[in-house]
Structure 1
């Protein structure tokens, strides 16, 4: 279970989020909203990347009190990932694999699954936007997180890759893993069973 309480986030004098509580259990959740509503800010807060006021807790582990343990339970893929352009895709995946103490075989299977294996020896600077997104998804699924946070995972990837992503999410969810997704594109329940849809409106998270 993910629980956020007494949340307030400002950039200078600009307040982005302000709500008293938000709790979600195991499942797949979609967070809707246009640019500038605070979706990416919320995801970065939950993943422990930016400071904020309030408390975040996952399965009894508090972000502020046990930050290392908390972060080990979460995997976050940004909407527009920015990686060093001079390293190869393999070097990046190896970094994630080592950091998360994952098996090399898992990373190799993910690369093959997203049809990226032939390009992993190329520098990231040579990747198209679609290849870059698939690389970020491979890195996100390396390891064994409890909660996967995918910010705009469908942008720039083709229909075939999107279908593969849906299948991977469903497989992980069947293992008890949870997902927070954001997307400008509609996510149909025919493609992916959503346990709940939320939207950020006036700095608050509302249930749709």
Structure 2
């Protein structure tokens, strides 16, 4: 059993995974008794194929699994809508319909998450995407697509942000902006789970805990 506890923060968050098992066919990817974190910024490091994406997809309700996931005592399986409304998940390789524009995608997220246009404009300006929003997503570069996915992830008010490899395909300037936005949101009591096989710049972003997946279990570094 692994428990990582830190100082209580505003808008306290408790995420608990219990008796987790996930298989793809005969291959077991994850199998552990318990993993628990509270409010903060956490880095799940490690190379491809270690189970980072699978873990994040479990927590965000994107893939079936055996076990229990609770966010502030809200069950993913029993109270799925309530649970998912408190989480924002950005995939490592985002995939959106290629025939819609960036603006149409953001309008969809705004409607679902009841976000203001002012907040969305602030995000698109920050990541320098405003000029490209009328273009179809099929014409976006990988870097533009990644920035669009990060903008989508920050739309609305959630408790936990889950970012799978957010540093890939974006430039240094965008990475610095992402770090600053994470710090800003953390100061508002929001929490983050970030996976990356790249090193997070400790001078720009302080994390509260670092984990890896070893032998299908999540362990602290």
Q: Classify the TM-score, shorter chain.
A: over 0.9
Distance 1:69 1:101 in 2: 15
Match of 1:69 among 82, 85, 105: 82
Asked if residue 99 in structure 1 is aligned to residue 94 in structure 2, the reply is no
RMSD (Å) for aligned C-alpha atoms: 0.6
| CA deviation profile, 1:165-203 (whole Å, cap 9, x unmatched) | 000000000011000001111013211010000000110
Report the TM-score, using the length of structure 1 for normalisation.
0.99
User: Structure 1: which 5+ runs fail to align?
Assistant: none
Which of 126, 130, 136 is the equivalent residue of 1:113? 126
* 1:33 paired to 2:33: no
CA distance in 1: counterparts of 2:35 and 2:140, whole angstroms: 38
Aligned partner of 1:58 in structure 2 is 71
Structure 1's consecutive aligned runs of 4 or more residues displaced over 6 angstroms after TM superposition are none
Structure 1 residue aligned with 2:165: 152
Distance in 2, Cα, partners of 1:119 & 1:199 = 37
1:162 aligns with 2:162: no
1:190 aligns with 2:203: yes
Taking structure 2 as the reference length, the TM-score comes to 0.93
Q: What does the per-residue CA deviation read over 1:84-125, in whole Å, with 9 as the maximum and x for residues that have no partner? A: 111000000111111111111111111111100000000001
Report the alpha carbon displacement of residue 145 of structure 1 after superposing the two structures with TM.
0.7
Residue aligning to 1:20: 33
Tell me how many residue pairs correspond in the alignment: 208
